[in-house]
Every structure is written in structure tokens, then in C-alpha cells.
Homo-oligomer: A and B are copies of this chain.
Amino acid sequence: MYVRKNLRWNVVWQLTRRSLFLFTIYNTAVCFLYGPLNIHWLDIPWQPVALLGTAVAFYIGFKSNGSYDRFWEGRQLWGTIVNTSRFWAIRAFDYVHATPDEVTPEADDISELHRRLLYRQIAWCNALRLHLRRQTAAQWDTEVAPFLPPEEAATAKVLSNPPTHLLRRQSIELRELFQRGLLTEFRQVALMRTIQDLLNAQGGCERIKNTPFPRQYAYFSFIFVWVFAAVLPLGLVEEFDSRMALGQYHVWLMVPFSVLVSWVFNVIEVVGHTSENPFENDIYDVPMTAICRSIEIDLRELLGETELPSKIEAVDDVLY
């Protein structure tokens, strides 16, 4: 996620330099043909261009909306993961304890149980992040494994869907706690609902990841902008040429203004494109690494740990 209030010019430049370059060449070519070379049949009336521009503006507006909604849904799902992780922790602390009429386990043992339940939740958050960014193979050992018992970490890594497996482990742990008498049936079912919330959030992220904005919508948005940019100077060239202040050079004034209008349409399309896929490890991503770290800090603070890792800070204005 880009966090600087105003985009730096190099970001703007990177987003749009290719288009700017192509627009400039094309518009210059049109001017050259129309002005010096006097090929006037290039000139078309403005009316169809204006109508095309309006229709295209609508369409890319519609697509911007849809793309933004995808980003925001992704962010909301990770917000849910934050809340649910905290609630998992709070419930774990106060539901998992010795019931009066059972043999009380040692206090240390209970603390250890709490720690395992919370650490596995941290592991799940990290595992989901790696799964969405396709980084499981590369970063599992540093990001997920430290929060799991060794053999569990090794088993889960090679499965087709590691985060699901970790929630399955939590569920098994709850059943065992129930069987040991450290968790009542009623509370077990309540905790299982938290697992359901996590499964739903995970599934929502996977849905956004696996189902791109329907290609037929997105692709034509791209095509329309370029078609419009192609037609624009043909409609403008005569309008500029007919003004006489600069004589035969006046037509060249068209280039900057035609490029400017093309650029605005292009930027709207490209900006929509940036937020279409929020889990791609690029600079417009939902900042999952930062969110995971913040969950880790929260949960470890709740465990009473004092040596906490620091928050992730933005690097070059970008928070991953």
C-alpha cells in the first residue's frame, strides 16, 4: 500500500511513462501528416469523438468502482482477520482453564496451552499471507515455522492448502482440550465459530485472488481507452489547425493538449487496474505483512511477552 499523501513523481512516471511516450509519438505523427505533409483526409469531425469520449469515461468509471471495491473487500477481510485473531486470543484465555471439578493441571501447562493456541493463530495469518502471495515455498521457514511445533510446521508446508490445515489443527486441539476436561462442550462450539469466521475470511481472500475482474470487462476498458486515444487527434487536428495565431505552426499546439486528454483517460484506467488484484505483492497491495506483524504484536502482548518485534514501517513510501 502506497502511504504517502501525494504520489511521488517517479511513481506517477512509472505508471504512465509508456503510454505518455506512445501518445506523444502518435500525436506528433498525426500533426506531421496533417500540417507539413498536408494530408487532410485524416481530419474527422469532432462529434463522434466527443460521444466516444463520454461513453468511454462512463465505462472506465464503472470499472474504477469495481476495482476499488475489490481492494476494499480485500482490506475488510484482513480487518476481520485482525478482529477475529484478537477475539480468538481473548476467548482462548478465558475459556480454556481447569473446570472446578476436574484435576487441575499445572498453571504452567495452561499457559503453555494458551501460548500454543495463540502462536498457531499467528502462524495461520502468516501462512495465509504467503499462500495468497505464492511465497509459501520461499518464506515458510522464517515466517510460519517459528510459531508452530516443528513437526506440525513440516507437515503443513507441503500440503496444497496450508492455512486450512492449521485451522484443522486448532480444531483438533480444541477437541483434545475438551476430552481432557479443560474446555466445556459449550465453549468448544463457541470457539469453533471463531474458526468458521477465519475460514470465511480465508475463503474470501482466495476468491478475490482466484477470480480476477472478469477479463471481458477489464480488457475492453483497456481497448476503449486506446481506441479513444487513437481517434482523439484526428478529431482535434483541424480545430487546432484552423486557429491562426501561430500560422502554420499552430497545429503543433494540438500535441500537448491531445496527449493530456489521452493521459487523463489512461490514468483513470491504469489507476483502476492497480487495485484490481490486492494480493500480488506490488506497491498497491493490501499491506498484509504489516497487518500480520501487528497481529503478532497484539497477541504476544496479550500473552504477557515483553520482547516484541517492532511494527513494519513503510519503505520508500510503501507498506507491504
* Bound: A250/B238 CA distance, A: 15
Known: A83-B199, A175-B97. A189 touches B192 (CB 8 A): no
Q: Which of B5, B44, B231, B253 contacts A44 (CB 8 A)?
A: B253
Q: Which residues on the B side are within 8 Å of A113 (C-beta)? A: none
Q: Which residues on the B side are within 8 Å of A260 (C-beta)? A: 48, 52, 227, 231
A245-263 residues at the B interface, CB under 8 angstroms: 245-246, 250, 253, 257-258, 260-261
* Bound: A80/B165 CA distance, A: 18
Since A48-B232, A187-B189, A190-B192 are in contact, a sample of 13 more A-B pairs with Cβ atoms closer than 8 Å, ordered by chain A residue number, is A3-B215, A41-B253, A47-B236, A52-B260, A62-B65, A79-B206, A90-B167, A90-B168, A93-B168, A94-B171, A94-B192, A168-B302, A184-B185
Give the interface residue-count category, chain A: 35 or more
Write the nearest CB–CB distance from A63 to chain B, whole angstroms.
9
Residue on B nearest A89 in the bound complex, by CB: B168
Q: Which stretch in A17-25, A118-126, A137-145, A267-275 binds the other chain?
A: A267-275
Residue on B nearest A178 in the bound complex, by CB: B94
A59 touches B61 (CB 8 A): yes
* A4 interface hit (Cβ, 8 Å): yes
Q: Enumerate the 7 nearest inter-chain pairs by beta-carbon distance, A residue then B residue, closest first.
A: A40-B245, A83-B203, A45-B239, A79-B207, A94-B175, A41-B245, A55-B57
Write the nearest CB–CB distance from A104 to chain B, whole angstroms.
12
A-B contact pairs, 6 of them (CB 8 A): A58-B58, A80-B203, A87-B196, A160-B301, A185-B187, A214-B275
A44-74 residues at the B interface, CB under 8 angstroms: 44-59, 61-62, 64-66, 68, 71
Number of this chain's copies in the assembly equals: 5
* Bound: A57/B268 CA distance, A: 12
* A105 interface hit (Cβ, 8 Å): no
A87 touches B220 (CB 8 A): no
A172 touches B93 (CB 8 A): yes
Contact with B along A289-312 (1 / 0, CB 8 A): 000000001100110000010000
Known: A47-B239, A90-B168, A271-B216. A264 touches B227 (CB 8 A): yes
The main secondary structure of chain A at its interface with chain B is helix
* A6 interface hit (Cβ, 8 Å): yes
Write the nearest CB–CB distance from A192 to chain B, whole angstroms.
6
* Bound: A202/B85 CA distance, A: 13
* A135 interface hit (Cβ, 8 Å): no
A41 touches B246 (CB 8 A): yes
* Bound: A317/B9 CA distance, A: 37
* Bound: A11/B215 CA distance, A: 11
* Bound: A48/B27 CA distance, A: 14
* Bound: A283/B167 CA distance, A: 34
